[in-house]
Amino acid sequence: MTRRLFSRQTQRALRIARLVGIVVLGLAFVALPTIFALFPSFGILPLSDRVRILVGWLVVAAVAGWVATFADEELHSKLDAQRAVAEVAQHRAVLRERLEGLLTGASGMPPQYNVTIYAPSPDGAFLIPVFPRVVSLTDPAIFPKGAGAVGKAWESPDGVFVVTGSGVSNDEHGLTPLQQVCFRHYQVVAAAVISDADDVPIGVASAIARTHDGYFDEGAGGVEELRALADEVAWIMPEAIRWMLPIGEEVTL
Instruction: Please state which of the ranges 23-32, 56-65, 181-190, 216-225 shows the lowest mean pLDDT.
Output: 23-32
Instruction: Provide CB contacts within 8 A for 97, sequence distance 6+.
Output: none
pTM of the model: 0.69
Digit-coded pLDDT (tens) for 75-97? 666 666 677 677 778 888 888 99
- Give the mean pLDDT of 37-55: 64
Which one, of 251, 121, 113, lies nearest residue 176 by Cα? 251
Q: What are the structural domain ranges in the chain? A: 2-98, 109-243
- Give the mean pLDDT of 219-247: 92
CATH topology of domain 109-243: Beta-Lactamase (3.30.450)
Alpha-carbon distances, residue 250 vs 58, 72, 113, 117, 140 (angstroms): 50, 34, 29, 20, 14
